Copies of this chain bind each other. A is one copy, B any other.
Amino acid sequence: MSSGAHLPTKDGSLQRSASPMQEKDRLSKAVRQQRIMAQLAAAPTLRATELAVALSVSGETIRRDLLELHEQGLINRTYGGASRPFAFEAARSDRRRIMVAEREAIASAVSARILPKEVLMLGGGATTYHVARFLAARNRDITVITHDFASASALGTNPTIRVLFCAGRLHPGEGYLLGAQTIASINGYEANRAIVGATGISARGIYDADEEAGAVYNAMIERAAEAIVVADHSKFDQLAVSVCARWNEVDRLVTDKQPSGTLAAALRKAGTDVIVAGVSEMSE
């Protein structure tokens, strides 16, 4: 339990309490917040008041800590305390925090298009995770093939959705599977639609920062009758190392703002259907 034992205290002794929940001396802010995270690893939910007495600070300070940790996406706030983000949600929290409204609008627009009995392939990533959440909440009787832990977890809450998972090597930081096994798994299926995200999109196509992840998305696109790319406008004209697909392979782009310039021209030329999901159209 990441101890602050290296911190010298006023009397020169090293502090190392037997119980991690009883501190006699005041800790630095950083250490205190680490302790909070450590506590959260052990318990699914925490009370601010309990943390206050455990860490020998006032409730206000704990509340401020929780606020900061929440802004960093490391915890979920609750009334009276905090809860831990589930599975691999935390790993991508920095990206998940931003553009949430836009991504939810995109996810909502995608889920509204999916009919019962469809078979989907769902790529990993922050935006596609939102899609998984909406699919779980609003769709039924579909089959989803994915390589992303967080998405599978979300989909698993809906008993009418059949979730097929790929084989592969776990990318711990991202919470999805990669590698030759993953590609092979995908090639063993056929789907109505592939839904993938992107690190960046430009006139030349869609990109991912991770070469292996890009290969997975490419396999999904090839195996599906329809390829849907979900990307908010912050991805426009962003480049990344790996090219997953060209626009002529992509049937639809679901985004939150109308593209312009060379990107718009490329989409027109490739015949890619562009769906702009307004944040206000969430009821769709």
Within the complex, the shortest CB–CB distance from A17 to chain B, in Å, comes to 10
Q: B44 to A85, Cβ gap below 8 A?
A: yes
- In order of increasing CB-CB distance, the 3 nearest A-B pairs are A79-B80, A83-B83, A163-B170
CB of A79, distance to nearest CB on chain B (Å): 3
Q: Which of A59-67, A132-140, A216-224 faces chain B?
A: A132-140
Once A20-B138, A137-B42 are accepted as A-B contacts, the answer to whether A169 and B158 lie under 8 Å apart by CB is no
- How many residues belonging to A are interface residues under a CB distance threshold of 8 Å? 61
Residues facing B in A159-195 (CB within 8 A) are 159-160, 162-170, 172, 175, 177, 181, 185, 188
Residue of B nearest to A104 (CB): B42
The smallest beta-carbon distance between A172 and chain B, in angstroms, is: 4
A152-B149, A163-B172, A164-B169 known; A136 vs B38 contact (CB < 8 Å) = yes
Interfacial chain B residues near A188, Cβ < 8 Å: 167, 181
CA distance A207 to B85 in the complex (A): 34
Indicate if A24 sits at the interface (CB-CB under 8 A). no
Of chain B, the residue at the smallest CB distance from A186 is B167
Please give the residue numbers on chain A whose beta carbons come within 8 Å of chain B beta carbons, in ascending order. 1-3, 18-20, 37-42, 44-45, 47, 76-81, 83-89, 133-134, 136-140, 149, 152-160, 162-170, 172, 175, 177, 181, 185, 188, 283
Chain B: minimal CB distance from A256 (Å):
19
The distance in angstroms between the C-alpha atoms of A44 and B168, with both chains bound, is 27
| Interchain CB contact under 8 A, A77 and B164 | no
- Is the Cβ of A76 less than 8 Å from the Cβ of B162? no
- Tell me the complex Cα distance, A86–B168, Å: 22
Name A167's contact: one of B80, B85, B89, B165 (CB within 8 Å): B165
Given contacts A2-B140, A88-B156, 20 further A-B contacts (CB under 8 A): A1-B137, A1-B140, A38-B137, A38-B157, A41-B158, A78-B81, A78-B83, A79-B79, A83-B83, A84-B86, A149-B149, A156-B172, A159-B172, A162-B170, A163-B172, A165-B167, A165-B170, A165-B177, A167-B181, A181-B188
Chain B residues, CB < 8 A from A160: 2
Assess whether B78 is in contact with A42, with CB atoms less than 8 Å apart: no
User: What CA separation (Å) do A175 and B153 show in the bound complex?
Assistant: 8
Q: What residues on B are CB-neighbors of A84 within 8 Å?
A: 83, 86
Q: Is the CB of B162 within 8 A of A169?
A: yes
**B residues within 8 A CB of A78?**
45, 78-81, 83
